Amino acid sequence: MENRMAVMIKSARQTELGFPLIEIMISLVLICLVVVSVIQLSSANLRNLAQSDNRIQVLQGASDKMRNVLENETMEEKAWTETDDQGNVFEITMTEIEKERTRALTVKLLQVTVKAFPAQSGGEKTITLKTAKMVSIAETLNVGKDKKQKGHTN
């Protein structure tokens, strides 16, 4: 009986001393794993946020290019390329569409396409905006005549 009492007292003292070293090390490893995964998630979110900001800026630039083209009075079929201050490239094309349907009318329908190539994506991702604008054939002919007259006067 005394032996049993001594064993119980001894085991009670061991539990009072605290956690063994292995348990502390395992808990520290688990805490470190959680902290590292939270840091990785945060850095991935920051990277995605920066990429989204760049895409928004490129989209805004493409929208501005589209607005400038649509506000232009002289609309004719053509294509050109522009580069902005950040190095983003914009390919702008205007092509006549629905020729068969508009042949008998005094208007023509032009499709305006702005294709944006972000500088930081390495050309892998593009943003494309498309719209159509109806243009009076009389305005187009007058613009052509004005250009010819300017060419003859020079």
Residue 3 pLDDT:
66
Cα–Cα dist 143/104, whole Å = 21
Q: Tell me, what's the pLDDT at 15?
A: 54
Alpha-helix runs per DSSP H in 72-136: 99-102
Give residue 154's pLDDT.
44
Q: Which residues are CB-contacts of 135 (< 8 A; sequence separation ≥ 6)?
A: 75, 107, 108, 109, 110
Q: Is residue 133 scored above 50 in pLDDT?
A: yes
pLDDT, residue 54, reads 85
Give the chain's domain count. 1
Range of the domain at 37: 2-153
Is pTM beyond 0.85 here? Answer: no
Q: Tell me: the pLDDT tens digits for 72-87?
A: 877 788 999 999 998 8
Q: How far, in Å, CA of 119 to CA of 51, rounded?
A: 12
Judged on CB neighbours under 10 Å (0-12, 13-18, 19+), 139 is: middle
- pLDDT at site 141: 56
The backbone torsions φ and ψ at residue 68, rounded to the nearest 5 degrees and listed phi first, read: -60, -40
At 38, the pLDDT band (50, 70, 90 cuts) reads very high
Q: What is the mean pLDDT of residues 142-149?
A: 53
